[in-house]
Amino acid sequence: MNTNTGAIKAANLLTESNLSGSGTLLYDLRHLTLAFVHHFSNSITIFDTAFCLLPTVHTIDTFTRYRANYLAHNQSAGNSILYKPGGNWMMINYLSQVYEGKIYVNSLVKADNETLIKNKHNTVIDVYDLLSGNYIESFYIPLRNGEALNSFNVSGKRLIVTDLTSVSIYQMP
């Protein structure tokens, strides 16, 4: 919005299509910025309190929508798992949190550089800068007894994690 003329550029405004589908809406009080983390794609829609769009963030997951069927195990040399397109939509971004200008996203997609064992016993949190959308880092949270996370919260230098049977507190670097 031009503060002198009051003119609004419609191309920069948030529309219904930007928030279509399932996702989590987050608000960063410090930067007066909102983030809509899409569950079934690698997109994060960022906008301000005037509903003006900021640059869209794409997570480090390598596909825009995740739709796969388990095809076979050990089809080639090594411990490869092969997937083919099709099947039901699968969630990419499960849980998310915004804290002091950073977006924390719990991705359910196994990275190419992760082993099946590491992926089975840990879950990953990817961290992005809220305003620039730049990827900052990833870290792993151990899964107790193979249970999925119910929630997580970043507060100061602490990460508070819940699953079905416990609450864990980790010190952040």
Domain boundaries, the chain: 10-171
The Cα 121–Cα 16 span in angstroms is 38
Structure tokens, 92: 């990419």
- State the distance between the two ends of the chain, measured CA to CA, in whole angstroms: 39
Q: What's the pLDDT at 89?
A: 60
Q: Which of 162, 156, 76 is nearest to 171 (CA)?
A: 156
Q: CA-CA distance, 84 to 46, in Å (whole number)?
A: 31
Q: Quote the pTM value.
A: 0.75
- 81 φ/ψ angles, rounded to the nearest 5 degrees: -115, 130
The amino acid present at 80, given as its one-letter code, is: S
Eight-class DSSP state of 119: H
pLDDT value at residue 45:
92
Q: How many CA atoms lie within 13 A of 11 on its CB side?
A: 1
Q: Which residues pair with 45 in a beta bridge?
A: 36
Per-residue tens of pLDDT for the chain, all 173 residues: 555 456 555 558 777 777 777 899 999 999 999 999 998 888 899 999 988 988 888 888 766 554 444 444 444 555 555 544 455 567 788 899 999 999 999 987 766 565 555 556 888 899 999 999 899 999 989 888 778 889 999 999 999 999 888 999 999 87
Which residue do the tokens 């948030």 mark? 14
With contact defined as beta carbons under 8 Å apart, do 149 and 162 qualify? yes
Q: How many CB atoms lie within 10 A of CB 40?
A: 17
